[in-house]
Amino acid sequence: MWFSWMLLLASLATSTASSKTREWAHHGAVMFADLTPQEMNAVRDYLYSCSELGLTSARDKSLKKNSILLMELHVPRKHEALRALDRGQARPSRKARVVVQFGNQAMPNVTEYVVGPLPFPSSYQVKTFKGDRPIRFESRPISTVEYEHLNKVLEKVAAKANKILQESTGFTYGNCTNRCLTFSDIAPRGLAPGERRTWIMLQKFVEGYFIHPVGLEVLVNHKDLDHEKWTVEKVWYNGQYFDSMEELVEKYEKGPINKLKLPEHDEEDLFSTYIPRGHMNTRTNIHGAKLVEPQGRRFQVDGNFVEYAGWSFAYRVRSSAGLQIFDLRFNGERIAYEIALQEAIAFYSGDTPAAMQTKYIDAGWAMGTSDYELSPGIDCPEIAHFVDLYHYYDTDKPVRYRNALCIFEMTTALPLRRHYNNNFKGGYNFYGGLENHVLVIRTTSTVYNYDYIWDFVFYQNGVMESRVSATGYIHATFFTENGLNYGTRVYNYVLGNLHTHLIHYKVDLDIAGRDNSFETIDLKYVNFTNPWSPGNSIVQSKLHRTQHETERSAAFRFGKKFPKYLHFYNPNQNNNWGHKKGYRIQYNSHANSVLPRGWREENGISWSRYPLAVTRHKDNEVTSSSIYTQNGPWEPVVSFEEFIRNNENIVNQDLVAWVTVGFLHIPHSEDIPNTATPGNAVGFFLRPFNFFDEDPSLASRSTVIVRPDEKGQPKVQRWTPEVVGHCVSDKPFFYNGTYAGV
């Protein structure tokens, strides 16, 4: 009797603790929620009232102005957030990070501020980067106004060359209504710090213009804040360089150059469109398979707080970089404090100046603001929970991105586990299986030509997957024979350029607490005398563990042997079988470095040297990249290499794993019109490694067990309803596609 009472009291205590844990997680989630439009407007109005800043509209046509470039949430320090998450204490006040461009002063600069408290801001203070590095004005992201001035430069240049363009391509630039040209700009904008020189590639302005280069590229120097002083420094036409457009025109007229003549443009044979063509024997008078929720939704969303099958987490979409999750817990126990996309790069090779200069570093294009509307049934299942997102970037008011994030449960059409227990008599002892349902939170980033699909996937057995799938148009340049060394011909005058995608994540693990250690596990052969046959030897594999005690020892270089198991564990917490409670990171990637160490632009992406680096958590090492790296990679304001330079001890510490995944893409003819997602998905898994005492998905009631009864008839045991509910929604397909100020 006494024992039963003790069990009951223990159960009640566990239930109370679990309830508090959930309550505190929910209480703290709002700390990580993106700024609301009301908060953005309040911050803008407050800063405009500060006369010493002298702020004007971001859309003012002058570049000599002080204006807000970016506004997003300023996340509280970890120890402050944990007081709310782990003790239920008051949340720290919400604040905003604001990037201001000061162009209207003798020494133009970019300054970041922390503004608060929200929702009624009353103060601001300068926000600095590690080492107090200044932000060069030339490294700022390009703005809409600057693009407008670049367009005017191109119109002036084209006015001199439209005869050449018309004869060479059948298209013209500026003052045209049909058969017009557009442009793509290349980054970084120069070859050294302090430059702002951009190669610009002309293209046919048709659907899918990214793969319609026309063989003319120009280099524009637009460093001066007086756009009337901008100049064209170089011109590339059909494989030939000229010092000015005037030189090209003169030599074109006199005839001593290789003239270009593209095939006649055929509107009916536009290879870059999505319009179906070719034959497929799939029936088209009926729809394909769809995802349904037979008895309704099984996950809960409250603001930015999500719960599903033991999981809970908060999410946000950072305007500068993209999707993040915070306070990731399974059954109330924290696995990670933060898992956040940091950067995505695509470094190209080619024969034209635009191709050889293309080194895209996508946070510099405010990658998080490129999360446009998701279509039901294609981008996400029709049953998904869609969320609008709001950003404040290069604007004067918040911009609403309709249905830009989705959350849904799906079946993987693969069992999470199953077993057929053969009785070897033509029958079975039992069959057991568990449906593999997962929760997915998804956004996309359309950074110009490429579309990245960002997923965090949560499995019932305590596994989390981070995955990015690449699609969209390839970055193509004009075909030259030498270009075949750097890519593939995909149309008669189009080269698909080889490039490497690298994606970088911050994974702040808190495995059963903040004090964690890191080891790698490999195998070694051992050779010993066979104990039951002394005349023979046994050769087999043996576990070989390496404890990594310093940051340098846990920074693994590309090109070196990479350990098989990457194990993060709490040295102070054991499971029931005496093992340290841990999780491991498992890669799905075939990445490699993109430039030699220390080579110019590589300094800005020093994280790309390592598939994995492990550091101690520091509040001043919040991100591994910045929005300034794209146009200032030579002297970056954030240098990841400095995170590990001091080589601190990482035993029994608060650890952060910095994970790099990616792939090489050599374009091929099947990339027309678009790169497809199959085979172009990379990422990593967080997998429990002795964290639990057994597979936690045993708690799932989706298990089915079949045993033969005494008459040999199947006896089905299940814990979910027999009857499948309603089918897919009968709502018609709807897609708006717009985004506008609110």
How far apart CA 234 and CA 217 sit, in angstroms, is 8
The answer to whether the beta carbons of residues 273 and 208 sit under 8 Å apart is: yes
List the beta bridge partners of residue 520: 546, 566
The answer to whether the beta carbons of residues 272 and 207 sit under 8 Å apart is: yes
List the beta bridge partners of residue 330: 311, 333
Alpha helices in 637-695 (DSSP H): 641-645
Element (H, E) at 49: helix 37-49
How far apart CA 326 and CA 34 sit, in angstroms, is 12
The string of DSSP codes covering 262-313 is PPPP-GGG-TTS----S---S-SSS-------TT----EEETTEEEETTEEE
Q: Which two tokens stand for residue 696?
A: 């936690």
**CA angle 294–298–299, rounded 5-degree value:** 145
Instruction: Identify the three-state secondary structure at position 621.
Output: coil
Nearest to 361 by CA among 344, 348, 378: 344
The string of DSSP codes covering 129-175 is -GGG----GGGSPP-HHHHHHHHHHHHHHHHHHHHHHHHHHS-BSSS
How far apart CA 498 and CA 488 sit, in angstroms, is 8
- Strands 305-308 and 181-185: what pairing? unpaired
Instruction: Identify the three-state secondary structure at position 693.
Output: coil
How far apart CA 465 and CA 677 sit, in angstroms, is 17
450 noted as active-site residue: yes
45: DSSP letter: H
Report the 10 Å Cβ neighbour count for 292.
Answer: 16
Nearest to 110 by CA among 95, 96, 127, 85: 127
Give the CA distances from residue 594 to residues 361, 584, 603, in Å, rounded to whole numbers and listed in that order.
Answer: 12, 26, 12
User: At residue 453, what is the residue type?
Assistant: I
> Of 252, 392, 450, 628, which is the active-site residue?
450
> Of 327, 351, 362, 654, which is the active-site residue?
362
Helix crossing, 245-254 with 144-169: angle to 10°? Answer: 0
Give the CA distances from residue 146 to residues 63, 316, 362, 608, in Å, rounded to whole numbers and listed in that order.
Answer: 7, 29, 18, 30
**CA angle 392–398–403, rounded 5-degree value:** 95
Q: Which two tokens stand for residue 396?
A: 């004067």
Which residues contact residue 354 at a Cβ distance below 8 angstroms, ignoring those fewer than 6 apart? 184, 186, 199, 200, 201, 217, 236, 477
Please give the positions annotated as active site: 362, 450
